[in-house]
A = this chain, B = another copy of it.
Amino acid sequence: MRIPYDTMLAEFRRVFSKIGFTPERGKLLAKLFAENMRDGVYSHGLMRVPSFTRSVLNKSGIDPGAEPERVGTIGILEQWDGKLGPGMLNAHACMNRAIELAKEHGMGCVGLRNTNHWMRAGAYGIQAAEAGYIGICWTNTTQLIPPYGSTEKKVGNNPLVVGIPRPNGQHVLLDMALSQFSNGKLDVYRESGRSLPVPGGYDSDGNLSYDPGDIQDAGRPLPIGHWKGTGLAMVLDLVGALLSGGRTTYQIACDPTEFGVTQTYIAFDIKSISGENRLRDLVDETVADFQDGSTIEGEDKATYPGERMYRTRTENLRDGIPVDPVYWNQVLEI
């Protein structure tokens, strides 16, 4: 079942208006959810709308009316308090603020505390790139990954995003959790009975495994790069919490559910810094060389970060966005 982008956007706007968002905030929420679907990030689109709606109506963890507030300024770095409002709206506001700071100072940085799940991390890298800025951002999460040699989850998968604008609109977008596969992706492989393309964790005998079920049962998903990924997760967590005054992964995990997470937003006014022609030429040249690499028989050619997204976006805008009718009907019934 495929739904046209405009139909989905209108339906999401209706839902968010109905559950009490102001027109401006409801419109932005609907746009972000619909764009995640348009770009193929189905794990953070339609299927999250019913549960998001329930959280808002039950006032469980998300305060729909809360708006982020600036609570500190240290030089060009600003600290904002998300007041446990909707994570997508807080995230959009803080990347916007980082861009404003970058417009004035060449670069800007915002530390955000007390916010909620921002859904698709890459959305805020795209936001910066579409404004013509380099955007770098990351979030922490609760404890999801055991350190190397351990069976206890200690660090978050702390998604990291880097968006680099290209004048042709096909921006480079790295959107990367620090686990090799998200739990949702392991679910997808498990349900379809497929093996992972590369090892995704350990089984309960302590062997590296391609079996999503064995990995989930053992509770040992793999970070990228083994000890390297957990190290990176730890320092992103600490830097974010120190810049914003927010909670660390350890502190978030002291509560039974994940809320009140911590994020960092950095923007660079790259057209002023580098010049638009150099920006275009340098990125084009690197992307072309990357795509040019010889490939192993049976593999797709190497794809640069963001490339598959643009292919999916083109398809989905042309043919409609694939949806699970269960979730689509749930949304229609709200």
Interface residues in chain A, defined as those with a beta carbon under 8 Å from any beta carbon in chain B = 74-77, 79, 102, 104-107, 109, 134, 136, 146-152, 154-155, 160, 162, 164, 172, 174, 176, 178, 180, 198-199, 206, 208, 223-232, 234-239, 241-243, 245, 248-251, 268-270, 272-274, 278-279, 282-283, 285-286, 289-290, 293-296, 299-305
Contact = CB atoms under 8 A, between A and B. Distances in A.
Contacts of A289: 154, 250
Contacts of A223: 225
A33 B164 CA distance: 36
17 contacts: A75-B269, A134-B239, A147-B302, A154-B293, A154-B302, A172-B238, A174-B231, A174-B235, A198-B208, A224-B229, A225-B229, A238-B283, A239-B268, A241-B282, A242-B268, A242-B274, A245-B274
A334 to B, nearest CB: 36
A149 B299 contact: yes
Given A155-B290, A224-B225, A225-B229, 6 more contacts: A75-B102, A76-B106, A77-B273, A176-B231, A206-B296, A250-B286
Give how many copies assemble into the complex.
Answer: 2
A237 B305 contact: no
Contacts of A234: 172, 174, 286, 290, 304-305
A176 B107 CA distance: 25
B293 A147 contact: yes
Contacts of A238: 164, 172, 282-283, 286
Given A147-B290, A249-B286, A305 B235 contact: yes
Given A237-B286, A242-B279, A148 B302 contact: yes
A102 B109 CA distance: 12
Contacts of A249: 286
Contacts of A250: 285-286, 289
B74 A269 contact: yes
Contacts of A206: 296
Contact of A248 (B178, B270, B285): B285
A107 B152 contact: no
Contacts of A293: 146-147, 150-152, 154
Contacts of A152: 293-294
Contacts of A229: 224-225
Contacts of A274: 242-243, 245
Contacts of A160: 232
A223 B294 CA distance: 17
A177 B186 CA distance: 27
Given A162-B235, A208-B198, A269-B75, A302 B106 contact: no
Contacts of A109: 106-107
A167 B293 CA distance: 47
